[in-house]
Amino acid sequence: MTNTTLTPDRSADTTTYAILLSISLCHMLNDVMQSLLSAIYPMLKTEFALDFWQIGMLTFGFQVTASLLQPVVGIVTDRKPMPYSLPVGMTSTMCGLILLSTAPNYAALFGGAALIGIGSSIFHPEASRVARAASGGRFGLAQSVFQVGGNFGSALGPLLAAFIVLPFGRGSVGWFAVIALLGMMILTAVSRWHSREQAVARRRPVKPPVALPRRKVQIALAVLVLLIFSKNVYMASMSSYYTFFLIERFDLSTQQAQQMLFLFLGAVALGTIIGGPIGDRIGRRTVIWVSILGVLPFTLMLPYASLFWTAILTIIIGVVLASAFPAIVVFGQELLPGRVGMVAGLFFGLAFGVAGIGAAVLGLAADHWGIAKVYTICSVLPAMGILTLLLPHRRDLLGTPD
């Protein structure tokens, strides 16, 4: 990536696609490495004779580490910009991956998962800030482009595990450190662009935000947190245990189950890229409403469907449910203008933390009641989408019609 490619656009009204695509690509590389953790769970379960609760604790270690640190990173970088923190975050992820590939025991596996979480906590808030800076005012589009890179990375992880890690063994996980080096090179160039862009942005006139009453902001943030809980606990059930559910219910091989997981994660990527631009056009509140509550009939059917209809429902659930998150992030940034990093860190951190806690609890439930019961329990979570009624309308946030 050359400096010419990443020359900053001086207009705040122009979308800088070179930067958006660069940060999305790095998000993909970052999340390929991260997704290998859950993708190799069946291998780790066999090699280390792990129980389901121990699998859940690995997810907990990764996601809660990210959850605790991301809001802190966001707050700090709101006050003191640190554009060159991006390659540092990917370095931590790379170290965690290498540790996973060589870990001699469960404690070392947990340490590798935690290092990957630290990498996420550094990468996501600053990368989300870069996406917004390059958006040219199309904030939903920018968040979708940024986030879809992560979705593609999460989808590629299980596929790469199926065709590379499973045949060549756990040590081959360390081979993926090469892509971290590529990511660090690109992120160094992006950081250089962002540093210059921030200097230009400080000289631009700032439009005063529309001030909502404090209580309305607090209620809206509480609703967004609950919606993130609903969405990400369900997503945790899919990312951590879907392969086990498919193997038990349909007697699939591990490779076949991971291919089904790839189908779901690919659908999540499609939903993410759709959600942001639609939110720019019709309003983020509407997208959140349709995405969370609208997926309920399909989640209720999933535990009882045949293999064919399970595949169809998997795609529908992935597309519809994933469209909410870009809208939720931008909605939160509009609720708290000037706190882009804090909001991104808070919501990405909540997404990781809630999913981590959910994965641990669902692992205990799977050990006690069976893996099929987990999906019966999770099927009702999208009903919390009814809370979207409490969110303010676009005209209240931006002073414009819905």
DSSP-derived 3-state class of residue 152: helix
Rounded-to-integer distance, Cα 313 and Cα 178, Å: 36
For 271, list phi and psi in degrees, rounded to 5: -65, -35
- Residue 13's pLDDT is 53
Domains and CATH numbers, the chain: 17-203+213-398 (1.20.1250.20)
C-alpha closest to that of 363 among 59, 65, 61: 59
**281 contacts 330 by C-beta, under 8 angstroms:** no
Taking the CB of residue 199, how many other CB atoms lie within 10 A of it? 11
- Residue 362's pLDDT is 87
DSSP 335-351: HSTT-HHHHHHHHHHHH
The 10s digit of each residue's pLDDT in 12-43 is 456 688 899 999 999 999 888 887 887 788 88
For 376, list phi and psi in degrees, rounded to 5: -70, -40
pTM score: 0.73
DSSP-derived 3-state class of residue 222: helix
C-alpha closest to that of 255 among 170, 162, 164, 168: 162
DSSP-derived 3-state class of residue 292: helix
Q: Which two tokens stand for residue 253?
A: 């091989």
Q: Which two tokens stand for residue 148?
A: 């879809």
Q: Which two tokens stand for residue 267?
A: 């659908």
- Residue 397's pLDDT is 64
- Residue 10's pLDDT is 41
For 379, list phi and psi in degrees, rounded to 5: -65, -25
DSSP 166-197: HHH-GGGGGGGHHHHHHHHHHHHHHHHHHHHH
Sequence-ordered alpha helix ranges (H) in 166-295? 166-168, 177-201, 214-250, 254-282, 284-294
Digitized pLDDT (tens) for each residue of the chain, 402 residues in all:
434 334 434 444 566 888 999 999 999 998 888 878 877 888 888 888 888 888 888 878 887 787 778 888 888 888 887 888 899 999 998 999 889 888 889 999 999 999 988 888 888 888 888 888 888 878 888 888 888 888 778 777 777 877 888 788 888 888 888 888 899 999 999 999 988 887 776 666 555 555 677 888 889 889 998 998 889 899 888 888 888 889 988 988 887 888 888 888 888 888 888 888 888 888 888 889 888 988 999 999 999 999 999 999 999 999 999 888 888 888 888 888 777 778 888 887 777 677 777 877 888 888 889 888 888 989 999 999 999 888 887 666 655 544
Q: Which residue has the tokens 């000289």?
A: 203
Taking the CB of residue 388, how many other CB atoms lie within 10 A of it? 21
Continuous segment of H or E residues that includes residue 402: none
The 10s digit of each residue's pLDDT in 258-270 is 888 888 888 888 8
C-alpha closest to that of 65 among 399, 352, 261: 352
Q: Which residue has the tokens 């935690």?
A: 114
**277 contacts 140 by C-beta, under 8 angstroms:** yes
**67 contacts 352 by C-beta, under 8 angstroms:** yes
**331 contacts 288 by C-beta, under 8 angstroms:** yes
